[in-house]
């Protein structure tokens, strides 16, 4: 009897709470001018949903030390036509359809300048510096980030993570990209459930390489809130189990 009650409870719980993939935050850098603190445009934490909770900035301190504050100052956003395309030729589709707009790819934009995020090494000028992407990872598991990347030299990128924006730990080091756009995916499992989640981009270069990124998207698995009817059913099963347990004790 007890086994049957436990099984029914488990089934009720399974119907009450279910997991679903969620487009957390996405950046395509379209319609963004050089030197801006860049909030996510897409996803549940993007400004298309009116909840711009995710951002991309320079040096870990937010708008006060943004992309325009690089030493020396660099023009970071350039037209993607520099690399022979009006948009990154890979990674243009969302991993999960954008819940706020119903769009399924980055080209579903609202006009204006199409561009990407570009870092120019300037003979090692980016070394020992860090660009940071910040988002809210609470209530998410199985977090991943996918993006299009490009590099025209031998420089590499180190990716790191943090839960406080200060202490960063290695995520993936020495990553190199070719002279044409390619797709990359990083496992962000270390940030599962972190209310303050940070991804660091750090560069290693001795020349004048260009590091370019576009169509960045963070996706995770979110647990849905139990529906009232399902929750009531769950409590009903638990109540029946309690009554049955008391009867068994009396016998």
Cα Dmax for the chain: 83
Q: What is the pLDDT of residues 44-80, one digit of tens each?
A: 999 888 888 899 886 544 443 445 444 433 444 444 3
Q: Could you tell me the sign of the dihedral formed by the alpha carbons of 220, 221, 222, 224, in that order?
A: positive
Q: What are phi and psi of 220, to 5 degrees?
A: -145, 170
Q: What are phi and psi of 23, to 5 degrees?
A: -80, 100
DSSP string, 11-37: HHHHHHS-EEEEEEEEE--TT--TT--
pTM for this one?
0.77
The pLDDT score that the predictor gives to residue 174 is: 96
32-46, 110-124, 180-194, 221-235: which is most confident: 180-194
Taking a C-beta distance cutoff of 8 angstroms, is the pair 53, 135 a contact?
A: yes
**Eight-state DSSP code of residue 164:** S
Tokens found for residue 243 = 């009554």
Tokens found for residue 68 = 């325009």
Which of 186, 130, 183, 120 lies closest to 153 in space, CA to CA?
A: 120
Tokens found for residue 177 = 């990209």
Q: What is the pLDDT of residues 105-161, one digit of tens each?
A: 987 766 666 777 777 777 777 787 788 899 999 999 999 999 999 888 889 999 999
> Would you call 58 exposed, middle or buried from its count of C-beta atoms within 10 A (0-12, 13-18, 19+)?
buried
């Amino acid at each position: 009897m007890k086994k049957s009650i436990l099984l029914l409870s488990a089934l009720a719980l399974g119907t009450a709470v279910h997991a679903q993939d969620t487009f957390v935050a996405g950046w395509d850098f379209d319609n963004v001018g050089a030197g801006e603190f860049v909030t996510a445009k897409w996803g549940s934490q993007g400004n298309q949903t009116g909840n711009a909770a995710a951002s991309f900035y320079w040096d870990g301190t937010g708008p006060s030390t943004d992309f325009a504050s690089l030493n020396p100052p660099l023009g970071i956003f350039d037209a993607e036509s520099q690399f022979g395309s009006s948009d990154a030729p890979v990674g243009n589709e969302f991993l999960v359809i954008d819940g706020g707009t119903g769009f399924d790819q980055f080209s579903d934009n609202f006009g204006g300048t199409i561009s990407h995020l570009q870092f120019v090494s300037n003979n090692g000028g980016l070394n020992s510096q860090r660009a940071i992407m910040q988002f809210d990872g609470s209530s998410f598991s199985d977090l991943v980030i996918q993006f299009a990347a490009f590099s025209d030299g031998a420089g590499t990128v180190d990716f790191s993570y943090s839960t406080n924006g200060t202490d960063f730990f290695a995520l993936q080091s020495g990553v190199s990209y070719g002279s044409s756009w390619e797709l990359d995916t990083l496992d962000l499992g270390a940030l599962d459930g972190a209310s303050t989640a940070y991804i660091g981009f750090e560069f290693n270069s001795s020349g004048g390489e260009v590091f370019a990124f576009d169509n960045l998207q963070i996706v995770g698995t979110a647990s849905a809130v139990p529906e009232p009817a399902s929750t009531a059913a769950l409590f009903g099963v638990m109540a029946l189990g309690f009554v049955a347990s008391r009867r068994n004790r009396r016998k």
